[in-house]
Amino acid sequence: MRILHCLNWDLSEIKRRIPEIADQKFDAVQINPLQPLKEDNKENWWLSYQPCGFTIGNQYGKKEDLIQLCQVASQYKIKIIGDVIITHMAQKAEMTPHDRVDSHLTDNPYVWREKKNLKGDWEYNDRYKVTHYCAGNLPGLNLYNWDLQDRIIQFLNECIDCGMEGFRIDSGKSIPLPTDEFSPWEGRDARSCDFFLRMQEGLKKKDLCIYIEVLNTAPDLIRKYFPFGLVLTDVEQEELPREALVSFVESHDQYYNWRPGMISPISDTCITDWYCAKAKYFPNTLYYARPFSEEWKNPKMKEANQQKVLKR
């Protein structure tokens, strides 16, 4: 599967360009998150990752636009992949939900994580803290809660009804797993989490393309996500099966945050060459379409997307 990541693209623009995307032999398009936002401002890409609820529609397109896009994409056998944020909501202040966040969430104290923020690499690698604390001072969601789970599953099913054929699950590393085991000391909640199990059971369509973002972690943890989807990761060690991963050269985070206050200085053509090299060995690859760049239309890309994957 070859995925074109179209962050910050209006749905109408993607629909217009589906024939070109198909001609480049991409199999899927990952679209911008469509959850309501705290602010309409396309210059600040990160606002798309501060949602205010679980409904379809924001400045990039409405529900009707999504339906039309999926219909056109289907004609060209292109899958539309939704980028969904389920681990946190938009902030007003440190770990405090924005005023625009859905009242169904703000009125329920049990859907929120405790107001403790992750600090430093040592805590980002503490499995309990990663799955129970907040990150980046954003108000974190408690995915153990069934009311929250049901609202998320309802949202995903609404997307499926519109024609979506898959999802990218943002911040997957912070989503607790049914295999997580915690010692019940210092008041810790030691329960296992059934979010992924209930999601699998509750989704209307079973043959979806789902990939879960799990970055900067050990291969053993990545393996634990395999029962629930492919894993979008920067960890590509030999012990991990390539067919279970979604590989990439550059993410939107890396492009915009190459250095504090700097976008990546690496050339478009260099990224293309690296992508083509990866496509030789990984059956699932994602290419981030940089803003104001048509490099995704490079003939090398078309060739790479069609080549046969080499075995180890």
Phi, psi of 27 (to 5 degrees): -95, -20
- Of the residues 170, 234, 268, 294, only one is catalytic, namely 170
Distance (Å, whole) CA 39 – CA 248: 29
Structure tokens that stand for 278 in this block? 């990866």
- Of the residues 27, 83, 213, 250, only one is catalytic, namely 213
Q: Return the closest-CA partner of residue 298 out of 289, 310, 309.
A: 289
Other beta carbons within 10 Å of 131:
22
Distance (Å, whole) CA 119 – CA 156: 31
Q: Return the closest-CA partner of residue 20 out of 301, 279, 275.
A: 301
Contact predicate 91/39, CB 8 Å: no
Query: Any catalytic annotation for residue 181?
Result: no
Kindly provide the b/e burial profile for residues 75-108, where b requires at least 16 CB atoms within 10 angstroms of the residue's own CB. Answer: eeebbbbbbbbbbbbbbeeebbbbebbbeebbee
List for the chain the helix, strand, coil content (%; round to 5). Answer: 40, 15, 45
Active site members: 170, 213
